[in-house]
Amino acid sequence: MPRVFNFSAGPAMLPTEVLEASAKALLDFQGKGFGIAECSHRGKEFDGVIDEAIARTKSLLGLGDTHDVLFLQGGATALFSQIPQNIANGPIDILVSGEWSQKAAKVAKEAGLKVNVVATSEGTNFDRSPLPGEWKLSPDAAYFHVCSNETVHGHRLTTWPEHANLVVDASSEFMSRPHPVNRAAVVYAGAQKNLGPAGVVLVLVRKDLYPRIPKSVPGLFNLQKLAESKSMINTPPTFGIYILLETFRWLERQGGLAGLEARNAEKANLLYQAIDGSGGWYTGTVAVKEQRSHMNVTFRLPSEELTDRFVKEAALQGMVALKGYRTVGGIRASIYNALPLEGAKALAQFMKDFQKKAG
């Protein structure tokens, strides 16, 4: 059966080459007679996997020795708690630009931290990210947290802010373009968008933050101890990390992050041209066009009835998971790294055909 174009926001589609290589390793790893999911995380086989995964992460990102690379469990949402637990030695600043940054602020407040919302677009239903001129940063903040791409609402920070202690939730755009990771304090991303299966979180931590960590933080949640153990204080998600490694190899074959950025921009432009060229029949949900996400394209149709028809008819043509997030509705087309250019072309053409037929 041919594979469909999967526009799911996550868990999302993975490159076929990555799936094929991972399936082979699952059955027989390097001709050893056992699969990668069957070997001990304390053995030399998996030690080689995680060493290579760390090295390729640094190579793809141009990351220096100032940072450690961690592969953690629990999902990116767990980092909403774990990061302040480790490095919030004072009040924290958070830019609330959508569903996920709002949740990060909520978790920090529930933990008893003093949280300064530097700006929010909640009043306009998160139709944009507040512009830097609107931010009111605290001079004594332990760090400044942002979500660089708001998956639900379809907008992104065109550039990452400059801040002495910048913390970035990059989950839905990580490794889709070059990132200025060397000037960030912490960057974290759930793997299930661009990197691999659900269950792994890739975290970059600047080493000079470690003295902040209270002695009361348990080892399993202590970022320094996790780094010292190469993310293996306990048994890590070994097969998930292996799939990340195959994805890193695939990313390099695509021309690295610069190559992916160009291809992702081409995919996004096809869909935005279909929206903008519809005479208002399709309406984008992002108020600032420059902030339109290259990962999650969000738009609305004239009615809920037409939206339902759009989703169902697209699925019949091999384009699935286009329904918008449950709290906002509409359409959301997630066009992560693994979605081929042909998928974006097919959806753009379907949008034009559907409008002509229904309009």
**Catalytic-labelled residue, pool 68, 93, 127, 193:** 193
Asked if 169 is an active-site residue, the reply is yes
Strands 92-96 vs 115-120: parallel, antiparallel or unpaired: parallel
95 vs 157: CA distance, rounded Å: 11
| Statement to judge: residues 244 and 345 lie in one domain | no
| Statement to judge: residues 218 and 160 lie in one domain | yes
Pick the last residue of a domain from 212, 233, 253: 253
- Average pLDDT for the chain: 96
| Statement to judge: residues 241 and 284 lie in one domain | no
The pLDDT value given to residue 313: 98
**Catalytic-labelled residue, pool 68, 93, 127, 169:** 169
Q: Give the chain's domain count.
A: 2
- Enclosing domain of residue 280: 256-358
Q: Is pLDDT above 80 for 359?
A: no
327 vs 332: CA distance, rounded Å: 12
| Statement to judge: residues 168 and 225 lie in one domain | yes
Mean pLDDT of 158-167: 97
Asked if 352 is an active-site residue, the reply is no
Q: Has residue 229 been placed in a domain?
A: yes
> What are the tens digits of pLDDT across the range 25-34?
999 999 999 9
Mean pLDDT of 113-137: 97
Q: Is pLDDT above 90 for 87?
A: yes
What CATH number is given to the structural domain containing 170?
3.40.640.10
Structure tokens that stand for 82 in this block: 């774990």
| Statement to judge: residues 219 and 238 lie in one domain | yes
Q: Has residue 332 been placed in a domain?
A: yes
Q: Is pLDDT above 80 for 168?
A: yes
Q: Has residue 10 been placed in a domain?
A: no
> What are the tens digits of pLDDT across the range 241-296?
999 999 999 999 999 999 999 999 999 999 999 999 999 999 999 999 999 999 99
CB 77 within 8 A of CB 102: no
288 vs 298: CA distance, rounded Å: 13
Q: Name the least confident of 40-44, 96-100, 138-142.
A: 40-44
Q: Is pLDDT above 80 for 65?
A: yes
| Statement to judge: residues 191 and 286 lie in one domain | no
**Catalytic-labelled residue, pool 93, 100, 281, 323:** 100
Cα–Cα distances (Å) from 337 to 61, 63, 125, 303, in that order, read 15, 20, 27, 30
Q: What is the 3-state secondary structure (H, E, C) of the chain?
A: CCCCEECCCCCCCCCHHHHHHHHHHHHCCCCCCCCHHHCCCCCHHHHHHHHHHHHHHHHHHCCCCCEEEEEECCCHHHHHHHHHHHHCCCCEEEEECCHHHHHHHHHHHHCCCCEEEEEECHHHCCCCCCCHHHCCCCCCCCCEEEECEECCCCEECCCCCCCCCEEEECCCCCCCCCCCHHHCCEEEEECCCCCCCCCCEEEEEEHHHHHHCCCCCCHHHCHHHHHHCCCCCCCCCHHHHHHHHHHHHHHHHCCHHHHHHHHHHHHHHHHHHHHHCCCCCCEECCCCHHHECCCEEEEECCCHHHHHHHHHHHHHCCEECCECCCCCCCEEEECCCCCCHHHHHHHHHHHHHHHHHHC
| Statement to judge: residues 149 and 286 lie in one domain | no
> What are the tens digits of pLDDT across the range 306-347?
999 999 999 999 999 999 988 788 999 999 999 999 999 999
| Statement to judge: residues 220 and 266 lie in one domain | no
Asked if 230 is an active-site residue, the reply is no
The pLDDT value given to residue 1: 66
